[in-house]
Amino acid sequence: MRKDGKSGFTARGEATRLRIIEAAAEIVYAEGAAGMSLDEVMDASRTSKSQLYHYFCDKDALIQEVIGRQTRRIVEANAPHLDKLDSFDALRSWCNMIIEANRTFGAIGGCPLGSLASELSAQSEQARAGLANGFEAWRSIIAEGLARMKNQDKLMPSADTQALSMAFVAAIQGGILLSKTSRNSQPLEVALNMALSHIERYVVAPAER
Amino acid sequence: MRKDGKSGFTARGEATRLRIIEAAAEIVYAEGAAGMSLDEVMDASRTSKSQLYHYFCDKDALIQEVIGRQTRRIVEANAPHLDKLDSFDALRSWCNMIIEANRTFGAIGGCPLGSLASELSAQSEQARAGLANGFEAWRSIIAEGLARMKNQDKLMPSADTQALSMAFVAAIQGGILLSKTSRNSQPLEVALNMALSHIERYVVAPAER
């Protein structure tokens, strides 16, 4: 019986598995991985102990699926904006969207990946590797957008799209953390403005293309 | 009997109180606030339950002291560098020191304040406020250094030292988090280079002063 993959279960089984992951993700987001008990997950997902262990061999395996689920959610939420990224203005619009979302929720929510990374990176090598992959997936879609701008001569050849995208993710993470702590979206806004200015230095004016 | 202040205890009592806070800070740094039990703190600090409750009314009160202790530690560690901050080169040297420290420890350690902020900001209003003060204390010493440079005409009058220092703390936090997750100091280096470039735009060349 496979317990770690996405396939190998019936459609109904897969639905149950996903319901468990969703329930776990919500609890982890609110209380951290340490605060999540399997009893709580069973309650929230309306599953029995034998069902839960049918799909996940232990809590670590479930946390690993939560990391994968949060990564896909972030990539899916941002890809429609970043797939179209073909100008500095589009990048700025995306940043404004992030800031607006943060403001709408009173700057309360952290980044689901960032919170788990902060909690688990030093405690579980498996979780750390999963979270590193999550950040990398996110950074990659930003890097691809910047590379597209570079190919279209909208960014200078000297723009290091790998480093710029990494700095961007750092600015988002640091900004969200400070905003969550101060209950104010200003730190996120200030951090994203820094990240935008950093990229703007490499923007080629239309007349020069 | 005071349980929340720094004074009001004998020298020996104060030493015990500080020993408890130190022990708690180490456990929290390694395992998070959720992972800290008072039994563990008693063991590590060689204190009894009655001694512990003599100084701290509950776990939350102890966590609050840990936040204060970590804030003072960061401010004390960085103040000698930032108190002398009078040039862009001095700022760059300080950043190099942060990166070197991160590299020396294999990028494993997170920021003690950042980790607690990520864990507790949404869970405890008291902790959140304490952590916001901690970040603010840190940001202030950076802002003061930048203001000094501005007063010496080394930064342009248009430099917003409040926003620049906030962006700086965000870059440090985001960079440390990504470095901790990837076990590589490069994200921190890239983030701090972004923060430095952001400030460099406002640097006044010596000839123009």
Interchain contact, A191 vs B170, CB within 8 Å: yes
Q: Is pLDDT of B92 > 60?
A: yes
Cβ contact B172:B98 at 8 Å: yes
Q: Is pLDDT of B111 > 60?
A: yes
**CB proximity A129 to B under 8 Å:** no
Rounded to whole angstroms, how far apart are CA atoms B34 and A155?
46
Interchain contact, B166 vs A180, CB within 8 Å: no
Mutant choice from A178, A180, A196 vs B, greatest count of B C-beta within 10 A:
A178
User: Which of A103-112, A117-126, B4-13, B80-89 is predicted most confidently?
Assistant: A117-126
- What is the chain A residue with the closest CA to B111? A118
Rounded to whole angstroms, how far apart are CA atoms A117 and B165?
25
Interchain contact, A173 vs B174, CB within 8 Å: yes
Q: What letter represents residue A133's amino acid?
A: N
Rounded to whole angstroms, how far apart are CA atoms A159 and A166?
13
Confidence band, pLDDT 50/70/90 cuts, at residue B206: confident
pLDDT value at residue B43: 96
- Stretches in chain A below the pLDDT threshold 50: 1-5
Interchain contact, B170 vs A178, CB within 8 Å: yes
Rounded to whole angstroms, how far apart are CA atoms A173 and A188?
9
Q: What letter represents residue B143's amino acid?
A: A
ipTM: 0.91
- What is the chain B residue with the closest CA to A200? B198
The stretches of B32-156 forming alpha helices (DSSP H) are 38-45, 49-55, 59-82, 88-104, 112-120, 125-151
**CB proximity B126 to A under 8 Å:** no
The DSSP symbol for B4 reads S
Interchain contact, B180 vs A121, CB within 8 Å: yes
Percent over 90 (pLDDT), chain B: 76
Mutant choice from B29, B71, B177, B196 vs A, greatest count of A C-beta within 10 A:
B177
Q: What letter represents residue A97's amino acid?
A: M
What is the rounded average pLDDT of the residues B57-73? 95
Per the document, the length of chain B is 209
**CB proximity A27 to B under 8 Å:** no
Rounded to whole angstroms, how far apart are CA atoms B197 and A201?
10
pLDDT value at residue B2: 45
Q: B113: Cβ–Cβ under 8 A, 6 or more apart, which residues? A: B67, B70, B71, B74, B131, B134, B135, B138
What is the rounded average pLDDT of the residues B149-158? 95
B182 chain-A contacts, CB cut-off 8 A: 132, 135-136
Rounded to whole angstroms, how far apart are CA atoms B91 and B47?
43
A194 chain-B contacts, CB cut-off 8 A: 167, 170-171, 194-195, 198
Interchain contact, B117 vs A181, CB within 8 Å: yes
pLDDT value at residue A2: 46
pLDDT value at residue B7: 57
pLDDT value at residue B1: 44
Q: Which residue has the higher pLDDT, A79 or B134?
A: B134
Q: Is pLDDT of B76 > 50?
A: yes
**CB proximity A34 to B under 8 Å:** yes
Cβ contact B198:B164 at 8 Å: yes
Cβ contact B170:A187 at 8 Å: yes
Q: A147: Cβ–Cβ under 8 A, 6 or more apart, which residues? A: A161
* Furthest CA-CA distance within chain A: 66
**CB proximity A118 to B under 8 Å:** yes
Structural domains in chain A plus CATH codes: 1-57 (1.10.10), 66-208 (1.10.357.10)
Give the residue among B104, B128, B165 at the shortest CA–CA distance from A191: B165
Half-sphere exposure of B97 (CA within 13 A, CB side): 11
Rounded to whole angstroms, how far apart are CA atoms A182 and A118?
18
**CB proximity A123 to B under 8 Å:** yes
Opening angle at CA A158, ends A157 and A163, nearest 5: 115
Q: Which residue has the higher pLDDT, B53 or B80?
A: B53
Chain A: nearest CA to B3, how far in angstroms? 26
Residue that the structure tokens 């009160």 belong to: B61
Rounded to whole angstroms, how far apart are CA atoms B114 and B138?
12
Confidence band, pLDDT 50/70/90 cuts, at residue B6: low
Burial (CB < 10 A; 0-12, 13-18, 19+), residue B133, is middle
Cβ contact B199:B164 at 8 Å: yes
Structure tokens at B160: 């917003």
Interchain contact, A108 vs B122, CB within 8 Å: yes
B119 chain-A contacts, CB cut-off 8 A: 32, 115, 118-119
Rounded to whole angstroms, how far apart are CA atoms A74 and A65?
14
**CB proximity B201 to A under 8 Å:** yes
pLDDT value at residue A81: 81
Structure tokens at A113: 């990946």
Burial (CB < 10 A; 0-12, 13-18, 19+), residue B79, is middle
Q: Which of residues 63-82 of A touch B (CB under 8 A)?
A: none
Cβ contact B181:A181 at 8 Å: no
Q: Which of residues 151-180 of A touch B (CB under 8 A)?
A: 163, 166-167, 169-175, 177-178, 180
B187 chain-A contacts, CB cut-off 8 A: 166, 169-170
The stretches of chain A forming alpha helices (DSSP H) are 11-31, 38-45, 49-55, 59-82, 88-104, 112-120, 125-151, 161-182, 186-200
Neighbours of B159 (CB within 10 A): 19
Average pLDDT of chain B is 91
Q: What letter represents residue A167's amino acid?
A: A
